[in-house]
Chain A
């Protein structure tokens, strides 16, 4: 893209993860530049979600380092990494199912709320001000993703596509520096995934954010990503622009099998 050096938002340096004898990710190197959309693709079981779990602290890497704007994330607990500014969605949607759409976002807005339990119980001025701000931001976010009309619906009752949308909104309201989307287009039809591409691009354009996407929908990936890396059986095959990836013989072999 640009000729001069762009700041690196998330850097994955030589990360390995072994589960017993199984090597889930093997010396992966990723440099996601600031304010870009980075795609990770690969066949099922390639270790893509493992990589996300390593970034968010659910697993600890066997070796290697993960840096967020130069700061190591290795050894931190999942909630600490979230507080550092890494938000994520899950492959199998994980919403607060029995709460309303509004409450889902309301809970996720944590960062600027600093009042203590005693403030909360005594309903001090500090508490009221921060709660009012939280309500305002939740409302804005719901309106901007078009879920405001559904705010009193239980999250579990939403259709699949909207649940995905809500999960993205919930990640976004934490005001992250890096957002990880794990198969956001899974189970969506063509029209829905096209819409999703638009949403992802809008998020990048309107926020100071770096997005990393895993997906199988090539149209979404090729459409939104500035840079893509391909993983197969835990090994990194190639990194490059969507055009490079589409014309790489190794990638074609991994997806379609090697011809005789």
Chain B
């Protein structure tokens, strides 16, 4: 039971990061392959602040969020003018560079040996409370003018400019939001694991974040969360069949299947609503009644 509570906590932590990436990649249309790097900034900042200066954990996490957001804003300001594909390459470089800096700043971060004895603090309740708050906040962001402007930039940048949307500003907004959330997830991760190591934030992690956004549907927050809930516990489930090393193969297979059969992702650009739940329930009921009548016959 405690084990599954731990898994659920971990899923929640990554969901926070995935939702952040969803705003940047799904809604604003800027793909990033380096967001694990911003998670690392949040994680190490929070860990070092709480460990060395003894400040409370929530303050440490906020510090990590702010530093990740500042780093994201500074690194990306000169690159936002680049076309999509070049932006991806830059983020890839940034993510790896952050990892390498942490790896080589041995005195501060412990380098490859890792950073241990980080204060405990991420509980199931605190993590999932943040997940829910993040979801609500992002939802109202997307439905506001500012979220709509981000979507307009994804759809057609030139047209968006021609109605008076400042592209740099809104790309920056999306970038900062995603970095804040990745920093937050990193902080929670540090206080959940009590131990950090640069390899936890490799490119594979960034890929996983992106894959969940693509699988869930670009431009659907609920879709992203759904994909996250589906994929994040997967390594733990596969562990039982000692098939853990097959995880990435499975991810890749899943992406191929989704691209073949649902090119827009699980939810496409739609949001999952209560109405959908009702419809699904109705469908189940009708299927069930069909079966029972068939059995009677």
Contacts and interface: CB of A to CB of B under 8 A. Distances in A.
30 contacts: A77-B161, A77-B166, A79-B165, A79-B166, A79-B167, A82-B164, A87-B163, A90-B162, A94-B156, A94-B162, A96-B152, A96-B160, A97-B156, A98-B155, A98-B219, A99-B151, A99-B155, A107-B149, A107-B163, A107-B165, A110-B145, A110-B149, A110-B163, A110-B165, A117-B141, A120-B144, A134-B145, A171-B162, A171-B163, A174-B164
B164 A83 contact: yes
A30 interface: no
B164 A107 contact: no
Contact of B145 (A88, A113, A174): A113
B148 A107 contact: yes
Contacts of A233: none
A8 to B, nearest CB: 23
A95 B156 contact: yes
A163 to B, nearest CB: 12
A139 B12 CA distance: 40
Interface residues of A, number: 37
B145 A98 contact: no
B198 to A, nearest CB: 33
Nearest to B147: A120
Interface in B131-148: 137, 140-141, 143-148
A95 B164 contact: no
Contacts of A95: 156, 159
Contacts of B146: 117, 120
A48 interface: no
Interface string A88-129: 101000111111000100111011010101011111000100
A96 B269 CA distance: 13
Contacts of B162: 56, 78, 82, 87-88, 90, 94, 171
Interface residues of B, number: 27
A77 B162 CA distance: 10
B144 A121 contact: yes
Given A90-B158, A120-B141, 13 more contacts: A56-B162, A77-B166, A79-B161, A79-B166, A90-B159, A94-B158, A96-B151, A96-B160, A97-B155, A99-B151, A121-B141, A131-B145, A174-B164
Nearest to B268: A98
Nearest to A119: B144
Interface in A130-144: 130-131, 134
A33 interface: no
A127 B148 contact: no
Interface string B224-242: 0000000000000000000
B173 interface: yes
Contact of B155 (A88, A96, A122): A96
Interface in B226-272: 269
A170 interface: yes
Question: Which of A77, A103, A108, A174 has the most B CB atoms < 10 Å from its CB?
Answer: A108
Given A79-B165, A82-B164, A121 B156 contact: no
B19 to A, nearest CB: 14
B177 to A, nearest CB: 9
Interface in A12-26: none
Contact of B161 (A78, A96, A115, A127): A78
Contacts of A94: 156, 158-159, 162
A123 B140 CA distance: 7
B150 to A, nearest CB: 10
B161 A82 contact: yes
Nearest to B164: A82
